[in-house]
Structure formats: structure tokens, C-alpha cells
Amino acid sequence: MSREGAEHALRARADERDRISGDLLDLESHTTYQLLKGSSLRGATQRRWAAGQAALSTLWVLYDAYRGVLRNAERIRATRERMGAEQLAELTALLAGPSVVLKAAAKPVEQRSLLPEADERLTLDQAVLRMDAAFQEATDVLAEIDAAWSAALPRLDAAAGELSTVTALQNQLGETIDLGQAKGDLNRMRAATLEDPLGSPPPEHELDRITALLSRCRADLEQALQVKQEYGRRREDLAAALDRVRAAESDARLAHGAVVVKIALPPQAAPRSRIGALTDELDALDVSTEGWVPRAGRLAALERAAQEAAGQAQATAKALFGLVGRRDELRGRLGACQAMAVRKGRAEDPETTRLYERARSLLWTAPCDLTKAAEAVDLYQRAIHGGGR
């Protein structure tokens, strides 16, 4: 090398050394690296991290030897302001030649030879390439383990947080739900994930099951706590809702009584009352000694049942009165068909007249059989249009 070339190469190597040093410091300060240093690993993760540690060990051995060569080169350059031929030759050998010496590794006795093991010599460029390969292998291991932890630990943390919330709600309510199995499963999965994230990640279906269980427990406890705080008001609202059920069922009975004399109804058309069972359930709820969680469920179910019963009774009354409307509609349709028969000159036809009289008789008979009346009107209409049976 020329003097200028040697000095330029030395400055470039110094910058390279500083950059590599910074990368190694970043690696050692990496959160996952710090966690792994103090972790008790096992299984696939232990084997993978052992490979990463071997790569790191190789990296540090190379770096120490590489740095030693640069220290020697800098010492030679510092001896004189202007290098002589001898110093330039030494500097050239260090910067361009195989100056990085790797001592032969000690082998187990069963792998040794009585012949001396030769040290390996590398150029600075070769040393940097090997360091980079070792660095990549180590960071790949860190990335794999970090990805596994990042995928599992947040979900485990969220489940643990949900468990804490459920426990706090239980304490606030003064009731207990047995969650020992869920707690034990979470602790087991967390321990397995910390020790072997690559080989023992938490099973998705099991974690989903626990998460769903805790979510249901939390919802039940929150509902129970709300019911405990609002029971008096909701009890009054429920009593008012039952009064509405009584009124609606009374209207349905009145509708049935008014309609049954006009329209032929089957026995099953009689309105069925649910108010007795609903009232009994409310009375039982008032004297219940069970916990707030089951009471809250019963109260919510009773509120829904009261709303459904009132709606069902109202729908029944509407349907019953609708049958009278259907009869009146058929009467109007029969009158319109008779007018059409007159226009078409078929009003005096004996068969048409017979069909009209049968339909009219059915529609003006009380109670009216709507099914037969509708069939009779349809037959009369078809006869007018030239149809037959």
C-alpha cells in the first residue's frame, strides 16, 4: 500500500470497528437478549438459543481478534509522524494480509490428535464477513423467540388481567365463582411460554376457551352487581310489567269472547294465561336466598318473559279481531262477485245462484266457518268467470 492508501484504509477500518461495536452494544441491550440471559429455557427454545449463543461466542472471538489487529495498526501508525518503509510494510500486512489469528479451539480428548492444531488466519475482510454471518444467526434466533413471545404473552397478559378483574368483582359482590382450574391453566401456559416459546406456545383452543369463560364470568358478575344495586327499582318495574301482562291477557280474553260468537274457533285458539307462572316466579325471586349471580339471571329472564307474554297477548287479540275482518272482507268480495254476475248475465243461472246462496249462508251464519266460507266464495267467483269445480 502507499502511505496515503494505508492511512485511508486505517481510518476506514476504525470507522468500521466503531460501527460494529455499536451494533454489538445494541444487540446486548435488546430486550429479548436481556430476558434470555436470565431465563431458564428448555426444549426447542433452549436448543435454538444454544445455537445463537454459539454464534455470539464466535462473534466475540472474531471481534476481539479483529480489534487487536486494528490496535496494533494504530500503534504502528502513531510511532512516527511520517511512516518509513518498514512501518508501511507492517501496516500493509496488518490491513491487507491474513492478520486476524484465530487460535485452534480445544477439543474433547476423544477428538484430539497428538499433532499440533493449526491456528486459522483471516484477513480483516474475511473476519468481518464471518462476524456478519454470526451476527445474522444470533439476531435470527432473537427474532424467532421475540416473535413467539410477542404472539403469546399479550394474550396471556390479557387473560390474566381479565382474571384479576373477575376476582375483584367477586370480592366486591361477596360471592365466589370457582376459577381455580382456569387460573392453574393460565399459570401453566405462561410458564411453558416463558421457558419454551418456540416449542410450547399456548394452545389456541385452550386459551380461547379460558378467555371465553372469563368473559362470561365477568359479564355475569357485572350484571349481578348491577342487579344488586338496582334491585328495588327493577322489582317495581317488573311488577308494573306484570300488570301490563294482566291487562293484555284480559284484552285477549275479551277479544276471544267477542269473536267466538261470530267466528268458529278451535279449542286451542283460546288465549293461554302466563301471568300466574310469572307472578309465582317473582314471588320466589323475592324470597330467594341464592347468590346474586343466579338471581340476576333469573331476574333478567323474568323481565324478558314478561315482555314476551304481553306481546303475545296483544298479538292474540289482534289476530282474533283480524278474523272478523277477514269475514267482512269475504262478505264484500261476495257482493262484488254478485254484481259482476249481474253484468255478465249469469245471476239467474241455477248453479251460480246455488253457489251464491251457499257462500252467503256460510258468511252470515254465526259462528262463521271461515275456511268453508272462503272456499265457497272462491267457487262462486270461478263460476262467474266460466270456471267450474
Mind listing the pLDDT tens digit for each residue in 197-231?
999 999 999 999 999 999 999 999 999 999 999 99
Neighbours of 109 (CB within 10 A): 6
3-state secondary structure of 112: coil
| pTM higher than 0.85 | no
Q: Name the least confident of 58-67, 79-88, 139-148, 297-306.
A: 79-88
Percentage of the chain beyond pLDDT 70 is 96
Q: Is the peptide bond before 98 cis (omega within 30 degrees of 0)?
A: no
The whole-angstrom separation of Cα 68 and Cα 17 is 11
Tell me the per-residue pLDDT of 38-77, one tens digit each, with 9 for 90 and over. Answer: 789 999 999 999 999 999 999 999 999 999 999 998 888 8
Q: Quick one: which of 203, 321, 198 has its CA closest to 256?
A: 321
Which stretch of 123-132, 175-184, 276-285, 305-314 has the lowest confidence by average pLDDT?
175-184
Torsion, CA 368, CA 371, CA 375, CA 378, rounded to 10 = 80
3-state class (DSSP) for residue 271: coil
What is the pLDDT at residue 112?
A: 67
Provide, rounded to the nearest whole percent, the portion of the chain with pLDDT above 90. 74
* Mean pLDDT confidence for 166-193: 91
pLDDT digits (tens, 9 = 90+) for 321-373: 999 999 999 999 999 999 999 998 888 889 999 999 999 999 999 999 999 99
* Dihedral angle over CA of 140, 142, 143, 148, nearest 10: 130
* Residue 88 CB neighbour total at 10 angstroms: 19
Instruction: Sketch the domain layout of the chain as residue ranges.
Output: 3-147, 160-226, 230-322, 325-384
Angle at 34 between CA 30 and CA 37, to 5 degrees: 140
CA distance 150 to 157: 11
Q: DSSP label at 120?
A: E
Assign residue 216 a region: left if phi > 0, alpha if psi is -120 to 50, beta otherwise? alpha
- Dihedral angle at the C-alpha atoms of 12, 15, 17, 18, nearest 10 degrees? 180
Instruction: Catalogue the E-assigned strands of 254-351.
Output: none
Taking the C-alpha atoms of residue 217 and residue 246, their distance in angstroms, rounded to an integer, is 35
Grid cell at residue 253? 280474553
Amino acid 114: pLDDT: 73
Q: Is the pLDDT of residue 307 over 90?
A: yes
pLDDT tops 50 at residue 389: no
The three-state secondary structure class of 20 is helix
pLDDT attached to residue 107: 65
Mean pLDDT, residues 130-158 taken together: 95
